[in-house]
Amino acid sequence: MTRPWLAHYPKDIPSVVDTACFSSLADLFKDAVARHGSAIALESLGHTLTFLELDERSTALAAYFSCTLGLKSGDRIALMLPNCMQAVIAMIAAFKAGLVVVNVNPLYTVRELVHQMNDAKPKAIIVLANVANTLADALPQIHIEHIIISELGDAFPVHKAWLVNAVLKY
């Protein structure tokens, strides 16, 4: 099988990551932070987060999961988010807290969401505000202890957050 994308990798980026030296995805991320701390990890709408900033945000969220919500290693958390900064931050935070991530398609219908929630039985969910009405309609048929609603602009500085959220709302 040919892998044409490898031709675009920088010379110092290996085509294969040796995962044998990492016990978890959290350890893999910790190594990436140590090696690339000030490098850009995420970019969205002109806003960037370095690996160090991503580490800080995900650590704070992991602490919230554990200390405030009382989630324990092995508990499930659903992420009903599109491909956005919050999804990455939440996923890394979940790994750090030892949680099992249940990815949920934000375009699911109520019936599809009910089926997945009753199958996976997550204790918490992070949902994009734009699709929270689907979750609200599903609530009578599912059990979920904690609901966190995020707007797409939450990952941006205040001036950009307001603009992004206003544009998406109207």
Give residue-wise pLDDT tens across range 42-99: 999 889 999 999 999 999 999 999 999 999 999 999 999 999 999 999 999 999 999 9
Domain interval for residue 89: 13-169
The answer to whether residue 119 is domain-embedded is yes
CATH of the domain at 132: 3.40.50.12780
Q: Tens digits of per-residue pLDDT, 58-73? A: 999 999 999 999 999 9
Q: What's the pLDDT tens digit per position in 95-136?
A: 999 999 999 999 999 999 999 999 999 999 999 999 999 999
Provide the mean pLDDT of the chain: 94
Listed in sequence order, the residues at least 6 apart from 163 whose beta carbon sits closer than 8 Å to its beta carbon are: 153
Long-range contacts of 38-44 (CB under 8 A, 24+ apart): 41/88, 42/85, 42/88, 44/84, 44/85, 44/155, 44/156
Predicted TM-score (pTM) of this structure: 0.87
What is the Cα–Cα distance from 84 to 71, expressed in whole angstroms?
Answer: 23
In a domain, 8, yes or no: no
pLDDT on residue 159: 81
pLDDT digits (tens, 9 = 90+) for 14-23: 888 888 889 8
Considering the domain boundaries, does residue 6 fall inside one? no
How many domains, in total, are found in the chain? 1
Q: Answer whether residue 5 is part of any domain.
A: no
